[in-house]
Chain A
Amino acid sequence: MITLAHVNKIYQIDGEEFYALRDINLEIKQGEFTAILGPSGCGKSTLMHIIGLLDTPTSGTLLINNKDITKLDDNELSRLRNEFAGFIFQQFNLINKLTVLENIMLPTIYSAKKYSYEPKTRALELMDRFGILIKQKSYPNKLSGGQQQRVAIARALLNEPKIILADEPTGNLDSKTGKNILDLIRELNQKEGMTVVLVTHDREIAESCQRHISMLDGKIV
């Protein structure tokens, strides 16, 4: 589904070039659960941001369903972000001034897609499934960490994305809650065939995934 070929991400710092990603070649097939493992600074988050279309490679190609997305303009990229990928962040990144329901419904505002379902119904279903239905009118800062992450997951799922990208989703959670979240994500992959790419620095988590890749200093090792 997703192919990266010779992808580099170079930053200019104080006149010197810094390679966040160095010649990345990677293929992610539909339905796979891939974990990307590495110490902090190894470039795993950068790789994630590129796969999730939040950032663009400095050089190299990124193919999604055999279309070269480096050739797309910003509007087309935005559409992909809306319909193709669902992002889950370590810091949850909910908008604190919107209610839980409004946060989950956020992708619908920017969607040009023809819905075969009623978005609000789906939102309520997801909330129910994740056990946060009663919190729908609350504000994110009133929820626990685990609840907030679940809101984030529901938001990511609202537009039926083809791939879920989770950047250290359990990083801000205690171990029990974290495990619950991981189980949730695994369920999405196993029961619904959702393609998942997960970034973590925790070896245990990585090895429990179907496929894991290690990174160091911008390269896949």
Chain B
Amino acid sequence: MNKYQSLITIIKNSVADLIRNKLRSFLTMLGIIIGISSVILLISLGLGLKMYIQEQFKALGSNLIIVMPGKMMSGGGASYQTAMMSGFKFEEKDVQALKKLDSLNTVVPLFSRVLDIASDKENKVYETIVSNEEIFDIMNMEIEFGRLYNKGDVSKRKKIAVLGFGPAEKLFGSAETALEKNVKIGNQTYKVVGVLEKKGGGGGVVPSIDDHVFIPHTAAISFNPGRKFMALYARAADEQNIEQTKNDIKEVMLKKYSDDDFSISDQKELLSSINSIFDIISLVLTGIAAISLIVGGVGILNIMYVSVAERTKEIGIRRAYGATRNDILVLFLTESALLSVLGGFIGLIIAQTAVLGIKQFFPAYIDLTSIILALAVSWSIGLIFGVLPAVQASKLTPIEAIRRD
């Protein structure tokens, strides 16, 4: 027989062995099943969350540049708090100054606050974004019903609001009925002139982009008496040249502020920070889940020793008819690898099923890498934890083995 055919026979025999000892095989596989499914599940949750947040940022476009107060990214923890505590400093004048730059298409000042929003029926709390008319373009939000507020509205300080899909539904029952109605924000009244398209995403634990309310900054004096802004969002004209654009912005800002008063970040930097954070979290969680894989492997190790002991005579017979040490090694490694791979496969299916269920409430995603990882890992566990007993089996001389009772 050639090598290929004998391997097929060995595998067939191993499968038959496993079926014959159903309970034992099942319990042995169960460890790997539990281990793999928990590992894959955790990875998919991390991946789902990461992708969700990345999507949010990507939707904003790669030419997005954000100017924030203080040096958030450097200087350590103290700087972060300092930035929070130093208050907001950007003003309308800064927006005008930046608008003069050729390398920027749009500049938008941003201020946000979580406020109580009330209709005549309901009231709920939403993050309210205070900006000018170009905020919708920058955030890629489209209007569904009614209209967005425009430059004219902003300069006339009109007390109007544009609702995201979420608030419109929750406060008025349906998005359409929200139009032309009044909402009370803080203790001021605003007229709803538009409702945004539903963007989806998030839901459950993770907040959605639909759950925001937008008002012109000129009409928000009561919430923002200082008329200062938390951040400036800008769109670079040339995506390829973000570094240069950032430098242009820096030059303009330095005319008014000291270098430590602000920081300029682009979407790439933000995305990579997010990536690193999630990768670390994922790694830690997965590492801990992997402990159960190790315990499962120990179970395989134990059972394989039992298997070798039980089949000592069979080993002797095979050796008597020409099996080499290697053949015996392969015989037992096949069994442990089979147990492990089957366990991994079933674990994968369970994880996949769970993810389909969870997707309703929480972002979760299994990618090809995870699948390959699952199978490769379970394969390795079978080999690693099967090798010692298999080697022990192969070292038996034919005569020792046959003589065994």
List residues of A whose CB falls within 8 A of some B CB.
49, 52, 54-55, 74-75, 78-79, 81-83, 87, 89, 93-95, 97-98, 106-111, 119, 155, 159
Contact = CB atoms under 8 A, between A and B. Distances in A.
Contacts of B322: 78-79, 81-83, 107, 110-111, 159
Interface in B13-42: 13, 16-17, 20
Given A74-B325, A109-B10, 11 more contacts: A54-B398, A55-B398, A78-B324, A78-B325, A81-B398, A83-B322, A87-B321, A89-B402, A93-B320, A109-B327, A110-B324
Interface stretch (B50-58, B290-298, B311-319): B311-319
A110 B323 CA distance: 5
Nearest to B17: A97
B321 A107 contact: yes
Given A55-B398, A108-B1, A109-B10, A82 B321 contact: yes
Q: What range describes how many residues of B lie at the interface? A: 20 to 34
Nearest to B1: A108
Contact of B320 (A81, A83, A97): A81
A149 to B, nearest CB: 14
A84 to B, nearest CB: 9
Given A55-B397, A55-B399, A119 B319 contact: no
Closest 8 A/B residue pairs (Cβ): A82-B322, A110-B322, A78-B324, A55-B399, A54-B398, A110-B323, A109-B6, A107-B321
27 contacts: A49-B399, A52-B320, A54-B319, A54-B320, A54-B397, A54-B398, A54-B399, A55-B397, A75-B325, A75-B326, A78-B324, A81-B321, A81-B322, A87-B320, A93-B313, A93-B317, A94-B317, A106-B318, A107-B321, A107-B322, A108-B1, A109-B6, A110-B6, A110-B322, A110-B324, A119-B1, A155-B321
Nearest to B12: A102
B82 interface: no
B313 A78 contact: no
B325 A54 contact: no
A78 B1 contact: no
Nearest to A83: B322
B330 to A, nearest CB: 11
Contact of B323 (A49, A78, A87): A78
Contacts of B13: 98
Nearest to B7: A109
Interface string B387-405: 0000000000111001000
B9 interface: yes
Contacts of A83: 322
Contacts of B321: 81-82, 87, 106-107, 110, 155
Nearest to B8: A109
A78 B10 contact: no
